[in-house]
Amino acid sequence: MLKDKVILVTGGTGSFGQKFTEIVLREHSTKAIRIFSRGELLQRDMEIKFNDSRLRFFIGDVRDKDRVLMAMDGADIVVHAAALKHVPICEYNPGEAVRTNILGAVNVVESAIIAISTDKAVQAVNLYGATKAVMERLFVQANSYSGKHKTKFSCVRYGNVSNSRGSVIPLFREQAKNGSITITDTRMSRFWLTLEKGVDFVLQSLEEMQGGEIFIPKLPSVLVTDLATAVEPTASRVVIGIRPGEKCHEILITGEEARHSVEFENHYVVLPEHPFWKTRLFSGEPLPEGFQYSSDTNKEWLSVEQLKELL
């Protein structure tokens, strides 16, 4: 479906955007990929790294609606991955988080198809999660307003991406050089997702989407203490307490959402509760009453040995 298509990626110089670009350029005969982001240096580095004539670069901010509309002109598919994502930074800069994560989403919603969301949008305990929860609602209900344009809007929701920019693995590796690793809470668990799997899942969702769905991959869980052991088993651990806005466990589907969700072999789909637009209901298996998809009650876990291999 990507053959001869023009794809726009907002936040295109981020961890997801770069991996998405790498895979699409390598595996698909797309016409062009437009990289939309604020950083000229990162764009220049990306241009040198990929050296592909199908890449186009647009300096801009999703807060600037005129620039967003210009970048989207003629695009067939829009992957909206731009966001302020670091929880403590969003907590201390709430206005900036709202301007980028909510008002920015409003600016792209008329043309975007897939929006990248997060576990923190589920039962949000921090501002970042709250802004992403609003973003999900904006994209789902945008299907009510696309009208004659026939644009379809869906979301992909997943948790922290392993080894992405700003994630805990680079932090643990750096701390381990000094012989100790900081742990916020010894009970903490997370889903395990690589950048490659995240990109593959977005591409799969593009194929399946009808409009209004939230796609959620099935993932293994890890204990953060096991991850620290896999990075450096001899390092001591210092428990520092949960940071402001941080969750002990990731939740990707709540019990309330489970009532209008379906299960497939490798993923779940949260269906829209009020589809005022024409949509095809998915044929997956309904979820049992009381189901919740949480990293601490997950059926699949990675051992320290498996984590060492993956790292």
Question: 265 by DSSP, 3-state: which?
Answer: coil
Residue 120 annotated to the active site = yes
Cα–Cα distance list, 222 to 79, 97, 157, 294 (Å): 28, 29, 18, 12
Query: How far from the centroid of its chain's Cα atoms is residue 232's Cα?
Result: 28
Exactly one of 3, 5, 19, 120 is catalytic; which is it?
A: 120
Q: What angle do CA 147, 153, 157 make, to 5 degrees?
A: 160
Phi, psi torsion values for 102, nearest 5 degrees: -105, -60
Query: The tokens of 21 are what?
Result: 């670009």
186-212: b or e for each residue (b if 16 or more CB lie within 10 Å)? Answer: eebbbbbbebebbbbbbbebbeebbbb
77-95: b or e for each residue (b if 16 or more CB lie within 10 Å)? Answer: bbbbbbbbbebeebbeeee
Cβ(237)–Cβ(225) below 8 Å: yes
Cβ(107)–Cβ(145) below 8 Å: no
Question: Residues near 182 by Cβ (< 8 Å), separated by ≥ 6?
Answer: 175, 237, 238, 239, 240
Helical residues (DSSP H) of 14-60, grouped into ranges: 15-27, 40-50
Tell me the C-alpha distance between 270 and 287, whole Å.
10
DSSP codes, 57-69: EEE--TT-HHHHH
**DSSP H or E segment with residue 70:** helix 65-72
Query: The tokens of 290 are what?
Result: 């009381």
Active-site annotation, residues: 120
